[in-house]
Amino acid sequence: MINSGEPMTNRATVFLTGASGFLGGHLLRELRVAGFEVRALSRGAQSDEAITRLGGIPVRADLADLGSLQAAQTGCDAVFHAAASTSMWRQQAAAQTATNVQGTENLLQAAQSVGVQAFVHTSSVSAYSHLVHGTLNESVPQRGAESWINYERTKFLGEQAVRRSSMPWIVFNPSHILGPGDHRNWARLIMLVDREKLPGIPPGIGSFADVREIARAQVRAWQQRRFGETYLVGGEQASFVDFVHRVGAALGKRTPRNAMPAWVFMTYARLAGSWSGVTGKEPDVTPESATLVCATLRVDSAKAKRELGYVETPLDALLTDTLLWMKQEGLVGH
């Protein structure tokens, strides 16, 4: 439901979480380009520097500390919540639940208590869960509550907290996010390809979304007051074999020719998970992450395209921009 009213002005002030992260950094940039003042949650000097460089105002706060969140949000017109734990390692499940569920609930409570008027929430396709088959659109029931994967379950529960809130809210469910600025997500796979150390290619199929377009769509949704609406934002679909081969060709690197059978990939992930229990170090692949990259993800972005002008950047162009940035940062091309 669209909440009609006065159009958004660029004099508004936004409180942003996750600003030192991948999507959050792009949100900060887009909000500043649109002329909004942005206070960004920061917990250290390194984050302060990144936020300041993009034109934001770093504010000390913690998702576990209600008082700090109230102080940080006082005088703000909207909250953009992009902070989340994306860990796929079960040893971090408790901390992930605290961030993705309790942290979101605290942020909502603090926002309501100081009179914030809008809440733009970055959820994930993971709230639907790998248990859902077929193409995802906004009418498909989410099954994250049933998932054994803690990330899927916590993204579902965090999103449900937003939906239950009396605040005007907008929810975004991005698919696989790719683009400049990525250090940890698909960048890790790309770096393994660059070093020719990728042990195998998972047999799944992904939907690759441009981080820049997701950020622009979120800002537009708030400007247009699309309260009560949910938007799935995906991109070009490609098998992980195709994706890895494109990366390898662009970098001039050898890659495995075919996908690793799912049962082999899962066996490797279970062994790595068991060994991590001995070493205490997070493995490159866990049973949780292996399950997701062996699945097929199809996302229908038609609603976001129609209402927000969302663009699905062609994968080749998106990879070109991503690899150029990674080369400039010294992450690939050694």
Domains of the chain: 13-176+209-234 (3.40.50.720)
- Category of 231 on φ-ψ map: left (φ > 0), alpha (ψ -120 to 50) or beta: beta
- Tens of pLDDT along 231-265? 999 999 999 999 999 999 999 999 999 999 998 98
Contact present, 201 and 257 (Cβ < 8 Å)? no
**Is residue 249 classed exposed, middle or buried when 0-12, 13-18 and 19+ CB atoms within 10 A define those classes?**
exposed
- pLDDT grade for 185, boundaries at 50, 70 and 90: confident
Least confident of 5-9, 29-33, 82-86, 277-281: 5-9
Of 93-97, 186-190, 257-261, give the range with the top mean pLDDT.
Answer: 93-97
Q: For strand 78-81 and strand 298-299, is the pairing parallel, antiparallel, or unpaired?
A: unpaired
- The interaxial angle of helices 66-73 and 103-113, nearest 10 deg, is 50
pLDDT at 188 over 80: yes
Contact present, 80 and 120 (Cβ < 8 Å)? yes
pTM equals 0.94
